[in-house]
């Protein structure tokens, strides 16, 4: 089941393969790249990540949620947010936006 959450101004949803252009635009930004090793900033690496995000959305039980942050009016991808359930009842989250 696809995850889709809406606020007054934003949509949070699962990644789709069609988001590749927006995802590569985010991951190629110099500010994004300051937080990651050079080898994790290539278009090839990030295309693979997007495919992995799509696969994770179909896992049961689902423990990894990498979501698109989309402007509700513009439908422009403006970032991503992640929630991960880790072993021992731990959780992790990340947020990236432009």
Q: What is the DSSP track for the chain?
A: ---EEE-SSEEEEE--GGGHHHHHHHHTSHHHHTTS-GGGSSHHHHHHHHHHHHHHTT-SS--EEEEEEEETTT--EEEEEEEEEETTTEEEEEEEE-
Closest CA to 8 of 67, 83, 73, 66: 73
In tens, the pLDDT along 1-34 reads 789 999 999 999 999 999 999 999 999 999 999 9
Q: Which domains does the chain have, with CATH numbers?
A: 4-97 (3.40.630.30)
Lowest mean pLDDT among 4-8, 26-30, 73-77, 89-93: 89-93
Q: What is the pLDDT of residue 93?
A: 65
């Amino acid at each position: 089941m696809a995850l889709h959450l809406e606020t007054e101004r934003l949509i949070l949803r699962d990644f789709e393969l069609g988001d590749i252009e927006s995802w590569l635009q985010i991951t190629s930004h110099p500010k994004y790249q300051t937080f990651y090793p050079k080898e994790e900033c290539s278009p090839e690496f990030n295309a693979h990540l997007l495919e992995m995000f799509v696969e994770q959305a179909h896992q049961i039980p689902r423990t990894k949620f990498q979501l698109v942050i989309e402007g509700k009016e513009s439908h422009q991808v403006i970032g991503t947010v992640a929630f991960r359930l880790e072993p021992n009842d731990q959780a992790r989250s990340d947020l990236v936006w432009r």
